[in-house]
Structure 1
Amino acid sequence: MSATLQLTEALISRRSVTPDDGGCQALLIERLAPLGFDCETIESGPADFRVTNLWAVRRGQGSGKSGGKLLMFAGHTDVVPTGPLAQWQSDPFVPTHRDGKLYGRGAADMKTSIAAMVVAIEEFVAAHGERCGSIALLITSDEEGPSVDGTVKVCELLKQRGERIDYCIVGEPTSVDTLGDMIKNGRRGTLSGKLTVHGVQGHIAYPHLADNPIHRVAPALAALTTVEWDRGNRYFPATSWQVSNIHGGTGATNVIPGQVVIDFNFRFSTESTPDALKSRLHAVLDAHGLRYDLAWTLGGEPFLTPIGALSEAMGDAILAETGVRTELSTTGGTSDGRFISKICPQVVEFGPLNASIHKIDENVEVASLDPLKNIYRRTLEGLLL
């Protein structure tokens, strides 16, 4: 059994449903401290939702093209709930092998990546010692949860300390059909709204005595679906606006409701800003003469790492290890990269196949574990030697 597989299984066996770390980070410290890493545990959040974060850094001398730069790996030890246990073919916290796959909650998202990072670092340090640049890890137990006491808190602390981070690899599962076919070099922003349109409740047989807010808002919704918010750019698709929920009515068939509540979301590119999107949407609602309240929630701003040293080094590593020419993409949901990009100029995400993440019987191809580890190690060699 390879070192990567052993560590992956050890991490999966720890029950770390968000925000619990389940002892995963303590295990990582046991592996990192002997390599010369200074390991700091940073706890945050209320007592009933305590988050554990790990900041571990090894200062290298650096030489040649590394120039003493720091490469940080980032990830999360927390996992989503298992769902109905009866639907799993095996215990989600007992690593299980079937047909060349390793099953368990977190196998793909993202305990395999964390194990591959740590073993890659062990091999790299053993081979190159002090001749390399600096390496760090930022690990949280609050990525699958609210994400308010995890990576964002550590990034704020590192900024206060004046810590310089040159490159960051986030171990999110990004591969689609085969290991290495996709790197995320950015993510769209997310902006949500809860719109309450007010009318006048009344008997459905006397509509002239009521004011139906569903009828009022329908033309506005139709107009919003036709707006071109932006056209995207080389890296991002056009901004998308989508309704996710509509709630209206008393449940009775003979009552016109007094209000309707609509949840919607923007997934937006770097061509738009939250303020501009808010202003344009308000203008459409106002043009339709609606009486409404609107509460906004900014889930995260977009981030982008243009083609550069990090994406090129990782692309070269993937090609050398797998023969796959990778694709840069900004598709998908949000990640902790949105926080790290505030303190690090080059952030990419790369990890195993994402087909089974958050699903019953989450799994990873066993044969992909060591190639993933080797890609991380080759990237270290490409940037820090």
Structure 2
Amino acid sequence: MTIDPVTLTADLIRCPTVTPEEGSALVLLDDLLSRAGFETVRVDRNGVPNLFARWGPKGVARTFGFNGHTDVVPVGDLADWSVDPFGAEQRNDILYGRGATDMKSAVAAFAAAAVDFVSETPPDGAVILAITGDEEGPARDGTRALLDWMGHQGERMDVCLVGEPTCPVTLGDMIKIGRRGSMSAWMAVRGKQGHAAYPHRARNPLPAMVRLMDRLAGRELDRGTEHFDPSTLAVVSIETGNDATNVIPGTCRGIVNIRFNDLHNGAALSDWLRAEAAEVAEAFGVQIDTEIKVSGESFLTPPGALSALVSGAVAAETGLVPELSTTGGTSDARFVKDHCPVVEFGLVGKTMHQVDECVPVDEIVRLKAIYGRILRDYFG
């Protein structure tokens, strides 16, 4: 049984799966994997679609897992696209459509590789595919739900590969062995509205906000670690909603985003943000309300057997020795890392989330070959 990953990618692109819509993508994969002998279970939670599939006995000593998502970000303005975002049009050996890069190609590639592998050389062990429809959205009931369900059912992956786009320039040039943590803070400075001609009768929240943001942005969090770049804080919004030139606003709101390395954790950074806000509030005589959301903690899978396995397969298929990196945003690997060792490897991510998102068809074929070699080497 040989599965063409390009055809499967096109079929998945034609499924309109803007988060949280399932769009029949998991139905398609469920049918494909079931026919190949995988035991499949829908693990939907709170309306979020998820699919678990296992080939081989439960609880065996060697179980290799793949994780990925079929949901995609919104297409934006349709008029900006030169193709139907869900048409899976192919031009000059380039396949177009929302999710072509992030990450329906990788899901198709690892599903096709897994089906071929278990059909041709049934392994002494098990292969698990954990696929969610909620990675681009809140991510509360996607991979988290799959891992929770697996824990309750006694299902376990010994190692896992997440198929997110990881390569900056060329297929094979980078593997992710960790990710920075991510958190955001929403800060509202509350003063007293007044006439701009009589500032002494008002309490302007803007100077306090400017001081607070300057203090936060001016702080050097660290200078990086062995595997991570320096942590960063970005001021991403300051607004009052006030367009009147003769009114001092009563409230000013600001947002910061922090990407942090393994020197920090979300709790300690939250304490720091609140302490800074409290000092500024006292100095300016205003109230500052702070809401913080930690999207994920920093994590690292130290270079070792898993990264060597994936690097060896990538090098064998592409001729490149991939860089082991922790750059980029967050992914569902931040949840998988609490279950088992995890690394990420996938396509070049240049067009992900863009208008006319696309992927060269030969890269889909090569990605399947890499995933297939990883399985053969792991079980061999």
TM-score, L = length of structure 1: 0.93
CA separation of 1:61 and 1:132: change in aligned 2, threshold 3 A: farther
Q: 1:315 aligns with which of 296, 311, 315?
A: 311
Aligned match of 1:341: 337
Q: Does 1:253 align with 2:245?
A: yes
Q: Which amino acid aligns with 1:216?
A: A
Task: State the alpha-carbon separation in 2 of the partners of residues 219 and 21 from structure 1.
Answer: 45
CA separation of 1:264 and 1:240: change in aligned 2, threshold 3 A: same
Alignment of 1:20-31 (within 5 A): 20-31=21-32
Q: Which amino acid aligns with 1:308?
A: G
CA separation of 1:35 and 1:293: change in aligned 2, threshold 3 A: same
Listed one character per residue, the Cα deviations across residues 273-325 of structure 1 (whole Å, up to 9, x for unaligned) are: 11211222223233332531111111122222111211111100010001011
Q: Which amino acid aligns with 2:168?
A: V
Aligned match of 2:355: 360
Task: State the alpha-carbon separation in 2 of the partners of residues 320 and 27 from structure 1.
Answer: 31
> Does the CA contact (< 8 Å) of 1:61 and 1:68 recur in 2?
no
Q: Does 1:211 align with 2:203?
A: yes
Q: 2:292 aligns with which of 274, 292, 296?
A: 296
CA separation of 1:134 and 1:249: change in aligned 2, threshold 3 A: closer
Q: Which amino acid aligns with 1:125?
A: V
Listed one character per residue, the Cα deviations across residues 18-67 of structure 1 (whole Å, up to 9, x for unaligned) are: 1122211222122222333110012221xxxx2211011122599xxxx8
Task: State the alpha-carbon separation in 1 of the partners of residues 374 and 126 from structure 2.
Answer: 13
Aligned match of 2:111: 118
Q: Which amino acid aligns with 2:261?
A: S
State the aligned residue count: 375
Aligned match of 1:171: 163
Q: Does 1:109 align with 2:102?
A: yes
Aligned match of 1:138: 130
Q: 2:52 aligns with which of 52, 55, 72?
A: 55
> Does the CA contact (< 8 Å) of 1:195 and 1:293 recur in 2?
yes
> Does the CA contact (< 8 Å) of 2:55 and 2:118 recur in 1?
no
Task: State the alpha-carbon separation in 2 of the partners of residues 221 and 301 from structure 1.
Answer: 23
SS in 1 for 2:44: strand
Q: Does 1:155 align with 2:147?
A: yes
SS in 2 for 1:260: strand
Q: 1:90 aligns with which of 83, 93, 107?
A: 83
Q: Which amino acid aligns with 1:16?
A: T
Deviates more, 1:90-99 or 1:172-181: 90-99
Q: Give 1:2 shift.
A: 7.4
Q: Which amino acid aligns with 1:324?
A: L
Q: Which amino acid aligns with 1:261?
A: R
Q: Which amino acid aligns with 1:155?
A: L
Listed one character per residue, the Cα deviations across residues 127-172 of structure 1 (whole Å, up to 9, x for unaligned) are: 321x432100011111111111211111112223333221111111
Q: Does 1:267 align with 2:259?
A: yes
Alignment of 1:66-85 (within 5 A): 68-85=61-78
TM-score, L = length of structure 2: 0.94
CA separation of 1:105 and 1:249: change in aligned 2, threshold 3 A: closer
SS in 2 for 1:139: strand
CA separation of 1:217 and 1:61: change in aligned 2, threshold 3 A: closer
Q: Does 1:379 align with 2:374?
A: yes
Task: State the alpha-carbon separation in 1 of the partners of residues 90 and 45 from structure 2.
Answer: 36
Which runs of 5 or more structure 2 residues have no equivalent in the other structure? none
Aligned match of 2:270: 278
Aligned match of 1:327: 323
> Does the CA contact (< 8 Å) of 1:229 and 1:277 recur in 2?
no
Which runs of 5 or more structure 1 residues have no equivalent in the other structure? none
Q: Give 1:249 shift.
A: 5.4
Task: State the alpha-carbon separation in 2 of the partners of residues 82 and 286 from structure 1.
Answer: 41
Aligned match of 1:38: 39
> Does the CA contact (< 8 Å) of 1:174 and 1:353 recur in 2?
yes
Listed one character per residue, the Cα deviations across residues 102-146 of structure 1 (whole Å, up to 9, x for unaligned) are: 1111111111111111111122113321x4321000111111111
Q: Give 1:95 shift.
A: 1.5
> Does the CA contact (< 8 Å) of 1:134 and 1:384 recur in 2?
no
Aligned match of 2:93: 100
Q: Which amino acid aligns with 1:370?
A: V
SS in 2 for 1:43: coil
SS in 1 for 2:49: strand
Q: Which amino acid aligns with 2:53?
A: A
SS in 2 for 1:44: coil
> Does the CA contact (< 8 Å) of 1:249 and 1:255 recur in 2?
no
Task: State the alpha-carbon separation in 1 of the partners of residues 15 and 28 from structure 2.
Answer: 10
Q: Which amino acid aligns with 1:34?
A: R
